[in-house]
Chain A
Amino acid sequence: MAKRSLLSPLKSVRYLFKKPKTLRYPFELKEPAQRYRGFHLNDWEKCTGCGNCADICPNEAINMVEISELEPKLGEKNERPQLDYGRCCFCGLCVDICPPGSLRLSRDYFHIHFDTDTFVFIPKDEKTDKEKFLPPGKYSVLKASLSHRKEDYEGFASDLRYTLFEPERVQMPEVPPEERKLSFIEQVIGYNKEEAKREAARCLECKLCEEACPAHMKISEYIQAIYEDKPEESLKKIFEDNPIPSICGRICMRYCEDACSLRLRGEALAIRWLKRYVADTIKDYETALELSPAESTGKKIAVIGAGPSGLAVAYFLVLSGHKILVFDDLPGGGGMLRIGPPLYRLPIESIDKDVNYIASLGVEFKFSTNVGQDLLFEDLLRDYDALYLGIGTTVSRSTKVKNFEKCLLALDFLKDNKIGEKRKVGKEVIVIGGGNVAMDVARETLRLQNMQYPDEKVSTKTVSLEDWDIMPATEEEIEEAKVEGIQFNPGWGPKEVNLDEKGHVKGLLCMKVKSVFDDQGKFAPTFYEKEEMLLEGDMIIEAIGQAPDFSFISEKLFDKLEFTEMRKVKVDENGMTSIPGVFAGGDIVNTNLDAVTAIADAKIASEGINRYFIKGIKNP
Chain B
Amino acid sequence: MSKNVNVGKGHSPRELELYFGPQHLGMVGNFSITLKVEGDRISEASANPGYLHRGFEKLMEYRTWIQNFPMVCRINVVEPDSMEMVYSMAVEKLAGIEVPERAHYVRSIYLELARVGSHLFGLWAYANMLGFDTVAQWAMYHRDLVLDLFEELTGGRVYHMYIWPGGVRRDFPEGFKDKVVTTLHSIGGCVPDYDATFFENRLFYERAKGIGKVTRGEAKEMGATGQILRATGMKYDIRKVEPYAAYDKVSWEVPTREDGDAYSRIWVIRDEMIESVHMIFKLLDAMPEGEVYNRIPNPFKWAIPPGEAYVRCESSRGELGLYMVSNGKDKPYRVHFRTPSYPHGLTVLEKALKNASIADVGNIMISLYVVAPEIDR
Contacts and interface: CB of A to CB of B under 8 A. Distances in A.
B134 A166 contact: no
B202 A89 contact: no
A205 B300 contact: yes
B107 to A, nearest CB: 15
B182 to A, nearest CB: 15
Interface string A1-17: 01111101101100100
B327 interface: no
A156 interface: yes
A27 interface: no
Find the residue from A21, A32, A33, A201 having the highest chain B CB count within 10 A. Answer: A33
Interface stretch (B67-75, B116-124, B226-234): B67-75
B197 interface: yes
A203 B200 CA distance: 62
Contact of B202 (A5, A93, A156): A5
Contacts of B153: 35
B170 interface: yes
Contact of B151 (A8, A32, A90): A32
Interface residues of B, number: 43
B155 A33 contact: yes
Interface string B185-210: 00000000101111111110100000
Interface in B112-165: 134-135, 141, 148, 151-156, 159, 161
Interface stretch (A157-165, A449-457, A557-565): A157-165
Determine the interface band of chain A, counting residues with CB < 8 A from chain B: 35 or more
A9 B141 contact: no
A510 B119 CA distance: 82
Given A8-B197, A9-B196, A203-B298, A58 B67 contact: yes
B173 A35 contact: yes
Contacts of B68: 58
B282 interface: no
B152 A35 contact: yes
B141 A21 contact: yes
Nearest to A105: B155
B186 to A, nearest CB: 11
Contacts of A90: 156, 159
B296 interface: yes
Given A4-B200, A58-B71, A201 B193 contact: no
A202 B298 CA distance: 6
B295 interface: yes
Given A2-B200, A8-B200, A8-B201, A37 B155 contact: yes
Contact of B301 (A9, A57, A201): A201
26 contacts: A2-B199, A2-B267, A3-B200, A5-B196, A6-B201, A6-B203, A8-B196, A9-B197, A11-B193, A11-B197, A15-B134, A33-B148, A35-B152, A35-B173, A36-B155, A37-B156, A58-B70, A89-B159, A93-B66, A156-B155, A162-B293, A164-B299, A166-B295, A201-B301, A204-B300, A227-B301
Given A33-B152, A166-B298, 7 more contacts: A5-B200, A5-B201, A9-B197, A56-B67, A56-B300, A93-B66, A159-B170
